[in-house]
Amino acid sequence: MKNFLQSVLTTLLLISVGNARAQVPVLSSHPSASAVLFLDFDGHTVSGTSWNYAGPIVCAPSGLDNTKITTIFNRIAEDYRPFNINVTTDSTKYLAAPANKRMRVILTVTHEWYGSAGGVAFVGSYSWGDDTPCFVFSGLLGYNVKNISEATAHEAGHTLGLYHQASYDANCVKTSDYHYGQGAGEIGWAPIMGVGYYQNFTLWNNGPNSYGCTNYQNDLSVITGSNGFSYRTDDHTANFAGATNAVFASDQFTVNGVIEQNTDQDLIKFIQPSFGRFQLNAIPYNVGTGNAGSNLDLQVTLFNGAQTQLNIYNPGTLLSSVIDTNLNPGTYYLRIEGKGNMYAPNYASLGSYALQGNFTAGNTLPLRQLLLQGQLNGDRHQLSWIIDADEAVTEQVLEVSTDGRNFSPVTQSTTDARAFTYRPFAAGSLQYRLSVTFDNGRQYYSNIVTLRNTGANPKPLLLSNLISSNTITVTSPGTFDFAVYDFNGKTIAKGQLTNGINNINTNAMTGGMYLIRFAKDGEQWTDKIIRQ
């Protein structure tokens, strides 16, 4: 029996627009693919399908101009970039595709036949072979490009066999049929099959669906499993011997690529002609400021000709990466891959990117040396660093990670400090790096230092009880309950810590003193926090 599923309900301000038909731009994301996802903006009459229980449905156009149509197309094309499928506005591509490997998404202002919803689809209908479409109601989404794009990718996902990504609490109680994601800013994340309207970084996900906290839905496996298509062919090899050559022309090179799977690593080779400054801008595909519409959090690793790792570049709050360093003449390699961040899992950081490398002969950087060093002193970690630069330091933050990928602040030192010692929170290897910002606005990361702690504390610890934002960073040796109180006893945040580094976000803290209480197995511990 065909399974009917209504998408997330969104009721926004209705805007009156004309429905005059206009020539829709003809766009295709992967013309050679036999599988097709057709975005139909110019109206369509639906008949003879499972929707037609009350006769034909005459759908008016979307009410969107060509600029909005192009942006929506680009956003959705990027959502489906890892797969061997053509996202297109060209009806001839749709009609030429096999009946069981195509889907028409009708973007229309006509919604009255169904009701007030952002869109609607039959789960699994992509492969039915009877031209049953799905719908996105542009008027009810306020003609908002971001919201229409998210709804379209979401509804198309239903047709490919996906259910909603849902949210559950620690006791396996459903808190929402739709996962709203977490975080904020450029790296704020949400699942495409949850609610992506309010986060920038929306991705496919591997998490519980709406039918139970143990019913994990692996979006990528479902999409590529039974719809007649899989991933795109890898465009750059993952081994040094076959690395793609990037050749400087007028002291610049460009490379484009796609990270198709979460195991994909693209190796790029370049030859530095003489001593000088090497700069690299690694940018995920985007449609605007703040890497809007990106599906890839880029990490770049630099190797020398002996294939020895020199540094890893992955700014924590950005999806793009930058290298700015002096290099001796010789052969170098860049390894490009998708990574998660403090909000998003590593699972589906996939999509396209562009690299631009620049060489400037003989130039020296304002920063000549940024070296982090570390050693053990009993159960304490001693970190020290050298900064040799022409510019003045305006901020330096020592950061720690348990996995080498997600870093959190340990301390924000005064600008003249060059050492820090503390007792870490748990046994195991910890990785440190130093983030330094200069008065010219440039930020640099040091090398990464790994130290292994030999002991473990029995309770969670604040990395610092002096904070300047509404994020409290806690390191925990296991699962603990926590609650944050003001000095009047009012609870402003509560939840559960997991093993490792935890970032507790609250918008209710202003300047002053607060308490954080940890609890487990009848025991409690309380620490003070000062919000600057």
Provide the CATH number for the domain around residue 195. 3.40.390
* Residues 266 and 357 placed together within one structural domain of the fold: yes
* Residues 126 and 157 placed together within one structural domain of the fold: yes
* Residues 43 and 123 placed together within one structural domain of the fold: yes
Each residue's pLDDT tens digit, 208-220 = 999 999 999 999 9
* Domain end among 400, 428, 456: 456
* Domain end among 228, 263, 281: 228
* Residues 349 and 402 placed together within one structural domain of the fold: no
Each residue's pLDDT tens digit, 180-189 = 999 988 999 9
Rounded Cα distance, 349 and 365, in Å? 32
Collect contacts of 368-371 with beta carbons under 8 A, ≥24 apart.
368/326, 370/434, 370/436, 370/444, 370/445, 370/446, 370/447, 371/446, 371/447
Rounded Cα distance, 132 and 341, in Å? 38
Each residue's pLDDT tens digit, 99-146 = 999 999 999 999 999 988 899 999 999 999 999 999 999 999 999 999
Q: Is the pLDDT of residue 489 over 80?
A: no
Rounded to an integer, what is the distance from CA 231 to the centroid of its chain?
A: 19
Whether 258 maps to a domain, the answer reads yes
Instruction: Give phi and psi for 111, each to the nearest 5.
Output: -130, -15
Q: What's the pLDDT at 7?
A: 36
Task: Output the domain CATH number for residue 260.
Answer: 2.60.120.380
Whether 239 maps to a domain, the answer reads no
Domain count, the chain: 4
* Residues 117 and 67 placed together within one structural domain of the fold: yes
Reading the block at residue 458, the tokens are 């029995």
* Residues 222 and 126 placed together within one structural domain of the fold: yes
DSSP H or E segment with residue 375 = strand 367-377
Q: Measuring CA to CA, which residue among 64, 69, 94, 74 is closest to residue 29?
A: 74
* Mean pLDDT value across residues 451-465: 68
Whether 237 maps to a domain, the answer reads no
* Residues 313 and 376 placed together within one structural domain of the fold: no
Whether 238 maps to a domain, the answer reads no
What sign does the dihedral 257-262-264-270 (CA atoms) show?
positive
Whether 235 maps to a domain, the answer reads no
pLDDT above 90 coverage of the chain, percent: 62
Whether 233 maps to a domain, the answer reads no
Q: What's the pLDDT at 453?
A: 62
Rounded Cα distance, 384 and 19, in Å? 65
Range of the domain at 318: 244-361
Whether 199 maps to a domain, the answer reads yes
* Mean pLDDT value across residues 475-484: 85
Reading the block at residue 35, the tokens are 């599988």
Q: What's the pLDDT at 501?
A: 81
* Domain end among 399, 433, 456: 456
Task: Output the domain CATH number for residue 380.
Answer: 2.60.40.10
Task: Output the domain CATH number for residue 530.
Answer: 2.60.40.1930
Each residue's pLDDT tens digit, 335-346 = 999 999 989 999
pLDDT band, very low/low/confident/very high, at 15 (cuts 50, 70, 90): very low
Instruction: Give phi and psi for 501, each to the nearest 5.
Output: -90, 130
DSSP H or E segment with residue 529 = strand 523-531
Q: What is the average pLDDT value for the chain, to the nearest integer?
A: 88
* Residues 450 and 476 placed together within one structural domain of the fold: no
* Residues 162 and 293 placed together within one structural domain of the fold: no
pLDDT band, very low/low/confident/very high, at 319 (cuts 50, 70, 90): very high
* Residues 350 and 469 placed together within one structural domain of the fold: no
* Residues 424 and 490 placed together within one structural domain of the fold: no
> By mean pLDDT, which of 172-176, 194-198, 307-311, 402-406 is the weakest?
402-406
Higher pLDDT, 458 or 335: 335
Each residue's pLDDT tens digit, 382-428 = 999 999 888 889 999 999 887 666 778 888 889 999 999 988 865 56
Q: Are 343 and 479 within 8 A, CB to CB?
A: no
* Residue whose tokens read 């704020």: 188
Whether 383 maps to a domain, the answer reads yes
* Residues 357 and 406 placed together within one structural domain of the fold: no
Each residue's pLDDT tens digit, 277-286 = 899 999 999 9
